[in-house]
Structure 1
Amino acid sequence: MDNREHLLIVSPSPHQHCGLTTEGMMASVLLALLPACGVAVYLFGLPALRTLSICVVTAVIVEVLWQKASGKQPSFRDGSAALTGLLVAFNLPPSSPWWLALLGSLVAIAVGKQVFGGLGHNLFNPALVARVVLLVSFPSLMTRWSAPQPGRLLADAVTAATPLGEMKSALWLSGRLPPGAGGSLTDYLLGNMAGSLGEVSFVALLAGALYLLWRRVISWHIPVSYLATVTILSGLFWLADPTRFAHPGVHLLTGGLMLGACFMATDLVTSPLTGRGMLLYGCGCGLLTLSIRLFGSYPEGVAFSILFMNATTPLIDRYLVPRPFGSPRTWGTP
């Protein structure tokens, strides 16, 4: 009887653990973003490294201070604060002033995360909340981009326009895309273009996303539906009028689309729970992103689209509830 006592133990589900923990998931995402960090520092030098460091350190400090002020045991071991700080840095121009990077992490942790109750309770992606707040408050600083200077750590910052910004300006002035608007897709693929720290390396971000898919930290539903929606719709517009609408490859490889689709829209806290819900969510993000890019005043729409869809997540989860196993429709009966 002693050998079978464990058979009488009753405990709540889940009875089998998938092996993923919060700490492990955060560590996996941080590891997946390391290639993009390396490319950003290679392209933009020490200013990029400074921005990354300030954002991460500030996010961790603000998290600990908030927990201490709230009477909780201060802890940052789950890695969520460091990840939020890194994503804030990825949404900033490479040569951002130190105080802008500090303010971005402060807003992300205090306003985007802790006000809602901390990890697991926030309605919106904290890093995107910080980006939008900074963009509205300091538009000139948040759109002051640096031209990449590969391998020159101490290179002087030279301002340049992003591919999407250049196209938007040309459309405002002449109603047509500038000559060579498609640019070099190879440069776009490798990240050799102006933009924020997380916008410039499709290959590095893709490598990180594939790693997360392999580790099953994220599922394919949101990235695929998001990227496919933007690609298909932009392709239809391009076929209709290539003088006003850019090639779908430009939309896919430039801006924050890859970062948003694979690392921000897939946030487990702010995205739907079911596969059908994720597909709807991803398609909504893609539709809104392309609508803002093509018809809005901003050249980029990833942040706004993801935040808007974050707000719809509770509704999506409510109306796309999985059917219980054994329900009539499961068996094919009316």
Structure 2
Amino acid sequence: MSKLLNLSSNPHIRDNVTTAEIMRDVFIALIPTTLYGIIQWGFNAALVCILTVAAAVISELVYEKCMKLPITIKDWSAAVTGLILALNCPPNIPAWIPCLGAVFAIIIVKQLYGGLGKNFMNPALAARCFLLISFAGKMTSFTGVGADALSGATPLAFMKTNPDAIAKVDLGAAFLGRIPGTIGEVSKLCVLIGAAYLIIRKVISPKIPLIYIGTVAVFTLLFGGHGFDLYYLACELCAGGLIFGAFFMATDYVTSPITPLGQIIFAIMLGILTGLFRLFGGSAEGVSYAIIICNILVPMINVHTVPKAFGKEGAKK
């Protein structure tokens, strides 16, 4: 049987890049925004990042040893999951909470479904949603910056509750990261540096992130209630986790579509859901839930957007 020739339809893609190399590149791309968060918020932010990564890696190691599975911690995927989860948490959160989330991400969302490549939603985002539901107060309590250190209101929350005071939002501070928020999402400059690294390394394509962000922009202009106010639009794009989510979570290989048309549909759906949650939902943010919902729809999107093979006869009526 070993001498049988296995045939499969083209195209046949060959690449020497390994999973470990891809995940290591993602981890490297997250370093600028991680360092910025640690410099801005100090010891507890560093502790959250270190312990959450450790919890994710140890959870994978223990599970695979107990289940007598091949050990995969060297592929960096668990470390990336832990770091992304940590960066999605407030800097003042007790470190045990994101550590619990890391265990949930690795054991429940990733390993119980067969490990890397078989999970149906992004493990880090699933864990964040789990923590938002379980520890809503801790996950939505943010530390202010500088003179505003006593205020934990994020710019998105401020704009939602004070729609007529947009001029008070400091766009420059929102872009550079001098605002309350999670450890890794606040500095759009650092996020974009990491995103540029991934694009240059050809780890991700900019198609999904750009269409996603563009859809949110159009939705915001149409339904934001501020008309064609570009300052308001820029604040909406820079003030929350949209850019971080677009480049580092919506582009996850396992939970995003593989077909070109599917990727476009996926990105547009992400933008519409994020806009709906932000502008009409009870919370000021909506990126995490939008990505999770669209992750679940990816298998259906893939099935209905498979390109027709060249020369294949169309369906007869």
Does the pair score TM above 0.5?
A: yes
Q: 2:235 aligns with which of 250, 253, 261?
A: 250
In 1, distance between residues paired with 2:226 and 2:69?
A: 58
Question: What 5-or-longer segments of structure 1 have no aligned partner?
Answer: 1-8, 151-156, 171-176, 330-334
Letter in 2 for 1:80: S
Match of 2:42 in 1: 45
CA deviations 1:236-290 (Å, max 9, x no partner) are: 33575589x9811111111110111001011000000011111110110010001
* C-alpha displacement of 1:19: 2.7
Which residue of the partner structure matches residue 137 of structure 1?
134
Partner of residue 270 from structure 2, selected from 285, 305, 312: 285
Distance 1:16-1:72 versus aligned 2 partners, 3 A rule: same
Q: 1:29 — aligned with what? A: 26
Task: Please state if 1:87 is matched with 2:84.
Answer: yes
1:154 matched residue in structure 2 = none
Q: Distance in 2 between matches of 1:196 and 1:301?
A: 14
Alignment correspondent of 1:268: 253
Is residue 118 from structure 1 mapped to residue 115 from structure 2 by the alignment? yes
Length, aligned pairs only: 309
**TM-score normalised by the chain length of structure 1:** 0.86
How big is the shift at 1:37? 0.7
Q: What is the alpha-carbon distance in structure 1 between the residues aligned to residue 65 and residue 252 of structure 2?
A: 26
The partner residue of 1:71 within 60, 68, 71 is 68
Return the letter of the residue paired with 1:160: G
Distance 1:181 1:268 in 2: 39
Q: CA deviation at 1:27?
A: 0.6
Mapped contact 1:232–1:248 kept (Cα < 8 A): no
45 and 12 in structure 1: CA distance in 2 versus 1, 3 angstrom threshold: farther
Q: Give the drift of 1:327.
A: 4.1
Q: 1:12 to 1:159 in 2, by over 3 A?
A: farther
RMSD: 2.4
70-79 or 307-316, which moves further after superposition?
A: 70-79
1:320 matched to which residue of 2?
305
What is the CA–CA distance in structure 2 between the aligned matches of 1:328 and 1:33, rounded to whole Å?
47
> C-alpha separation between the residues in 1 aligned to 2:103 and 2:40?
26
1-structure distance, mates of 2:151, 2:108: 31
Identity among equivalent positions (%) equals: 39
Q: Kindly indicate whether residue 208 of structure 2 is the aligned counterpart of residue 222 of structure 1.
A: yes
How far residue 15 of structure 1 moved from its aligned partner, in angstroms, is 6.3
In the TM superposition, what whole-angstrom CA distance separates every residue of 1:29-88 from its partner, at most 9, and x where no partner exists? 011111111111121111111110011000000000010111113331000000000011
State how far apart, in whole Å, the 1-side matches of 2:25 and 2:260 are.
Answer: 22
Find the aligned partners of 2:256 and 2:192 in 1 and give their Cα distance. 20
Structure 2 counterpart of 1:295, one-letter code: F
Structure 2 residue 207 is the aligned partner of structure 1 residue 210: no
Q: Which moved more, 1:58-67 or 1:199-208?
A: 199-208
Matches within 5 A, 1:173-184: 177-181=163-167, 183-184=169-170
Report the Cα offset of residue 166 of structure 1. 1.7
1:183 positional shift: 1.2
Give the number of the structure whose alpha-carbon radius of gyration is greater. 1
Distance 1:286 1:206, change over 3 A: same
